[in-house]
Amino acid sequence: MQLGIIGLGRMGGNMRERLRRGGHEVIGYRRNPEIGDVGSLSELVDGLAAPRTVWLMIPAGDPTERTIQELKGLLKEGDLIVDGGNSNFRDSMRRGAELEKQGLLFMDAGTSGGIWGLKIGYCLMVGGSDEAFRRVEPALKTLAPEDGYAHVGPVGAGHFTKMVHNGIEYAMLQAYAEGFEILEASQFDLDLHQLAALWNHGSVVRSWLLELAESAFDKDPDLSKIRGYVEDSGEGRWTVFEAINENVPAPTIAASLFARFASRQDDSFAMRMIAALRNEFGGHAVKTQ
């Protein structure tokens, strides 16, 4: 099939390449003319035959909002916009309703796979109408590994399921991190690379994340080259918000989110407060700056 991709970063660029290898005609746009195939959104739209399919792989929030608003003035009735970024599902529901009034189709495609997607494929959780899904399915088949894509529900469902997926990811990463820190701090001179490799053979905690841990320890056995500062892209926060909205207990995901906040504090006031109180009530020693 023919489609345009807006956003040719680490994931969008690889998606363009994977689609082209699969025989699809892809026109890519990025502000950097050395990377994009066209110089503007209007050129991209003009290069596509109706009904057009345009796939967005750009940051959530204002960049996605501005791009969709610009596309509304360029696309015609029956054209399809697919948002493959990590937009909030409520924004996707609103955008889908607004675009429908103009006769445009919209799909939200939760996309997982990271930089490995070009080689392995992307897991795609797609929300939208049956009509939109059928139109974009040839591309989904190429982008995903076997059984790696699904039409999960109406507009919003794709980004909702990807949000929860990322919330689970937060908790899994935190569990591995805490476990390996206990191993590293123990009295035993343990080979963490060896253990990560061992656990990937028959262990109940084996996973792709553990394979990546094995790779990381192979490159840097004590992770001394990496600062322990961890960002969050929003989905973990949104997952916790929705857990609160739905009265669902999610203590593990919430704790993993707060642990990321703690990673950004070089000298936490809260930890200084605890040290001061322990000194006050128990005379416990404190370290001064």
**Taking a C-beta distance cutoff of 8 angstroms, is the pair 279, 203 a contact?**
no
CA-closest candidate to residue 47, choices 17, 67, 26: 26
Is the four-CA dihedral 57, 132, 106, 30 of positive or negative sign?
Answer: positive
Active site residue 162: yes
Q: Check 43, 169, 211, 242 and give the catalytic one.
A: 169
Active site residue 43: no
What residues are annotated to the active site? 162, 169
